[in-house]
Structure 1
């Protein structure tokens, strides 16, 4: 198994909001997620984030707001002794017909290009089916977390045949490091 982990952001690393996470103040890490990322980083994992951020296209927040959210996330991760190798985000709305919005795999292609990595065999972690589908399209192993929209995704039970399910990122990190 390749030691590459691609994470969705909202609902996996931080609390999700149906009203969008619009500012650094609203960006709140899920319990154990920052520590999990730091542990994996220290163990030699390559870590990247692939996140749909349609709030940009919808005018809910600005690029500066998103940059500030990511700066807060990175500050917390680095304070815990970890880091992220790349953050890829889709600024488009659902009707923009872009190549990057999950379930399309464009964000993974950006990560692959930026890090010069073949993502086949990597692990894609998400709380929604579209996250997992994006990863599976590039040969990643899919892991669903029960945080964020994970329980709703699990309840539909669609497209989850070859998906590993864990409570949260902290549990996944424990399993990967065991």
Structure 2
């Protein structure tokens, strides 16, 4: 019997983690947690001022996300987190070993354009260069998939679902059976 994964939707700012995360969770029939909600106020203030976070700033945030993911182990869930460095992903996996990562990828130009059009978010486009400089893509030995962010949210979500099915099949597990979105 297939045990639902806890999926971390990762990537640099502006890739659509907050948009794709809930859509993916709905397709998989599991709860979603917004990674930004785990940041302490000091981190949000720092980023709002255009100051990149240090690793010391990130550890408590990653630990809080990891605790949520651990609580969802065996039940499934989707949470967003930039998880830019391998050491950050290792910290998350140490709390919840079965994590699977969906790395949202795209060109810097596309992501900067999307960031410049969003409103009410604390992350300024000025920090995008530091995000790309920090990014360490998933290693071949890390459980996860890369998903291109070109296209509509529905198209990106479908690519993520298909990539997760392929990953599950390659690991010998039963593919996840996404639920059909409800029509309200």
TM-score normalised per structure 1: 0.44
Relative to its length, the structure with more strand (as a share) is 1
TM-score normalised per structure 2: 0.43
Q: Which structure is larger by alpha-carbon Rg, 1 or 2?
A: 2
